[in-house]
Amino acid sequence: MCSGTARNRLRKITLSALVLGIVLIAACDPPPKSSDPKATSSTDEPVSGNESEAQNMYELPPGAVAQSAALRQRLAVAAEGHDAKVAARALHKDSAGKPLYINRLALESSPYLLQHAHNPIDWFSWGDEAFARAKELDRPIFLSIGYSTCHWCHVMEEESFEDLEVARLLNERYVAIKVDREQRPDIDDVYMTAVQAMTGSGGWPMSIVLSPDKKPFFAATYLPPRGGVRGSRNGLIEILTQLEEAYHVDKRATLESADRIANHLALVTAPAEPDSMPGVELLHSAALRYIRMYDPVYGGVGSAPKFPQPSILRLLLRANAREANPDALQVVSETLRHMADGGIYDHVGGGFHRYSTDREWLVPHFEKMLYDNAQLVVAYLEAYQVSGDPALADVARDVLRYVEREMLAEEGVFFSATDADSEGEEGTFFLWDESQLDDLLEPAEALAVKTRFGVTAAGNFEGRNILHVVAPLDAVQSALSDAGQSGDAATLLQSARTKLYDARALRIWPGLDDKVLTSWNGLMLSAFARAAFVLNEPHYLDVATRAADQLLIVMTVDGKLQRSYWHDTAQIDAFLDDYAFLIAGLLDVYEASSQPKVLSQALALQETLDQQFWDDDHGAYFSTSNNHEVLLTRSKPSYDGAEPSGNAVAAMNLIRLAEFTSDFAYKEKAQALFATFDADLRARPTSSPALLCALDFAHADALEVVVVRAAGDDAKALIDVLRENFIPNAVFVLTDEADVAAHAKVAPLVDEKRALNGQSTVYVCQSGRCDAPTHDVATLRTQLQGHGLRLRD
């Protein structure tokens, strides 16, 4: 999410405020991370070609230190290889329409960093060169962190980073560094913790001033260029001027303040001493808290702005499964319904926008993120398993249709996000005028769309319309009848949707962030694999299997998993989230595909995760490996943000692996992980719903269900019982009888299980004891109910 939280609260920064007690502001909970450095060298290596011509291609950014001829040549060559959209974004151009300025970000492989390659600011990427420059020139560092689809990041670029006075100030008095938070979550986590500790809130873009040794002494989010803009008393110019003066006039006090802040960050992210494993009562109390936070009118947990929060919904489904809690089920069902009906959902192209700015789910921030849509698919599928409501399954299908159409790369992996903005405005691509519907659609189609989605001449958003469901299908049918229009409402709406999509495709599209991230792809692997299993759709399994295969190919360099892939280049050693989410995706693919090699791949990744990330002294996983760059702090995430925490997903993986492999060491590691976070969970249980989902599994007597298919039989009737019911704390193995031996090598729970009497056979086991093998659907249902499961009729 982009946040402008700080923009209305800017205060004049004085030396006393800077140096005295800034660290005493209440600290927030979240963590930090670390990674291998991604430095770009600008050494004066010999170059070929006409250097003087290269030097003259771009003007030196105002106030910038002179660039070497070699660097300018490299920048010019890099710019020639960029997509035309990179140059087109430049605000400052020459008479021929070419960008006037270029900086080191032109050498990067991040779509976000390339957006800033033609700013008049002499940006550096995070790396040794930037910090050496700061020490050499004795300058503070201005660190800006954002991401490519962030609306307020775009606003700050246009207002502040394209401002020549701001650029000159930064170039003459600071070393300016840009970071893509999605490529470097380790850096983002460290300094977001600082922002929250120093301001009481956080968000992006993040604006931090550091000492040359990377310690923060000022933090904010969005900042306008100068005072008076957007009602602020001070902007970047005033703030940076005063901070730079403070740095040089009273350097000792400033650096002491930075030291205190760094020490405070180390304190709040220090590993906790392990306690005991949290009890099941914590699950009950967390569910009650979420239910009390429920909006009974519009659904959702909390007030505006409203976020999807699928981990909360999934936890409440588990609360209902554990203790038959109808209130928990209502929170989930009503929230999912309101979201699917609201403007947060794209009713033309499918997929969910990032979040709603209002209580009603009507006006979203229009970016679409891969991780949101992946997690929501799973939430809708699980709710469908509980209720049997086909509308929930239809939403999951529609989201996956959108992902395949707009977010699937040729290689079979998934892009990251699409922007909120197009044509310089937020949401333009997604809005409709009533007259546009009349021009594009047949009269009956136009009436159906207007009635269903509340389209009016006045509009509901800046004079235009965000489509959102206001009338059920029977009301649409009645409106058609009253107007003397024939046709089935659902059919008319579907034909209208196709026409609107085709017409919208002719507009200028929002920007696509086409980098591939391992962690987010792992989440989408789970979405497609779970949909393949629950909906019995082999095509979804084909997508998931191909994506898994390609990820393991393109994201592996010299035997090491990487985080980011863009334009045929994989880079940055993978973080905890990358390993945990990918392992979870592979386990879901394994359950849906019956391929033992997929479980073997997950086990290999788990071995690396245990070796490189596990804290032997205090338990749980660090967010960075032993080989990553050392930053100010090294954290262990337990709190969920827009994505589940890496430790939460890792805990769930450990429990599942223990069941698949019968290796109790995995379960012991999971128990140690929970013990590490016992105090945090008890103090703030609603901050970690994904970890509580894993805790729910840990406290359950897990079921192991093995289906052995006889030759020539797909065992559909037996497997359908598993597909159609919500069985959260279980592992499934589906295998042909001929493959039992291969499965048993990696999943010993399959060993010695056979298709008895030539018929497909299901084995339901728990705590080392198995029920009688059965071929009969009714018997299987009785066995599952005997283990405390409530099945749909």
pLDDT per residue as tens digits for the range 392-450? 999 999 999 999 999 999 999 999 999 998 888 889 999 999 999 999 999 999 999 99
Strands 569-573 and 417-418: unpaired
Burial class (CB in 10 A: 0-12, 13-18, 19+), 213: middle
Give the CA distances from residue 486 to residues 196, 204, 445, 471, in Å, rounded to whole numbers and listed in that order. Answer: 58, 50, 10, 18
**523 pLDDT exceeds 70?**
yes
Backbone angles phi, psi at 699, to 5 degrees: -85, -10
pLDDT band at 574; cut points 50, 70, 90: very high
Distance of alpha carbon 400 from alpha carbon 103, whole angstroms:
39
Contact 291, 691 (CB under 8 A): no
CB count in 10 Å sphere of residue 641? 16
Angle (CA) 374 428 79, round 5°: 80
Distance of alpha carbon 573 from alpha carbon 305, whole angstroms:
34
More confident residue, 301 or 9: 301
Q: Bridge-partner residues for 220, per DSSP?
A: 207
Mean pLDDT is lowest, of 52-66, 449-463, 755-769, for 52-66
Contacts of 213 (CB under 8 A, 6+ apart): 131
Distance of alpha carbon 791 from alpha carbon 385, whole angstroms:
9
Residue ranges of E strands in 135-229: 141-146, 175-180, 206-210, 216-220
Distance of alpha carbon 123 from alpha carbon 136, whole angstroms:
17
Distance, C-alpha 192 to centroid of its chain: 16
Strands 175-180 and 124-125: parallel
Mean pLDDT of the 655-659 span: 97
Distance of alpha carbon 367 from alpha carbon 350, whole angstroms:
13
Mean pLDDT of the 225-246 span: 93
pLDDT band at 56; cut points 50, 70, 90: low
Distance of alpha carbon 243 from alpha carbon 249, whole angstroms:
10
Residue ranges of E strands in 151-300: 175-180, 206-210, 216-220
First to last CA, the chain: 41
Sole residue written with tokens 């939430």: 379
Mean pLDDT is lowest, of 5-9, 436-440, 725-729, for 5-9
For residue 416, what are its two tokens? 């990251």
Backbone angles phi, psi at 557, to 5 degrees: -130, 120
Mean pLDDT of the 338-343 span: 98
Give kind and range of the element (H or E) at residue 426. strand 425-426
Distance of alpha carbon 761 from alpha carbon 482, whole angstroms:
56
Mean pLDDT of the 156-171 span: 97
DSSP, res 632: S
Mean pLDDT of the 510-529 span: 98
Mean pLDDT of the 139-159 span: 95
More confident residue, 279 or 48: 279
Q: Which stretches of 594-663 are DSSP H helices?
A: 596-613, 646-661
The whole-number pLDDT of residue 349 equals 98
**21 pLDDT exceeds 70?**
no
Strands 516-517 and 560-566: antiparallel
Burial class (CB in 10 A: 0-12, 13-18, 19+), 654: buried
Distance, C-alpha 422 to centroid of its chain: 22
Mean pLDDT is lowest, of 5-19, 262-276, 417-431, 478-492, for 5-19
**175 pLDDT exceeds 70?**
yes
pLDDT band at 27; cut points 50, 70, 90: very low
Distance, C-alpha 747 to centroid of its chain: 31
Sole residue written with tokens 């006045």: 458
For residue 28, what are its two tokens? 């927030």
The whole-number pLDDT of residue 268 equals 85
**50 pLDDT exceeds 90?**
no
Give the CA distances from residue 462 to residues 1, 506, 553, 753, in Å, rounded to whole numbers and listed in that order. Answer: 22, 22, 47, 64
In order of start, what are the domains of the chain with their CATH numbers?
Answer: 5-34+122-268 (3.40.30.10), 306-427+510-699 (1.50.10.10), 428-504 (no CATH), 701-793 (3.40.30.10)
Contact 47, 69 (CB under 8 A): yes
The chain-wide mean pLDDT, for the chain, equals 92
**17 pLDDT exceeds 90?**
no
For residue 314, what are its two tokens? 């999934």
pLDDT band at 48; cut points 50, 70, 90: very low
CB count in 10 Å sphere of residue 792? 12
Distance of alpha carbon 621 from alpha carbon 637, whole angstroms:
8
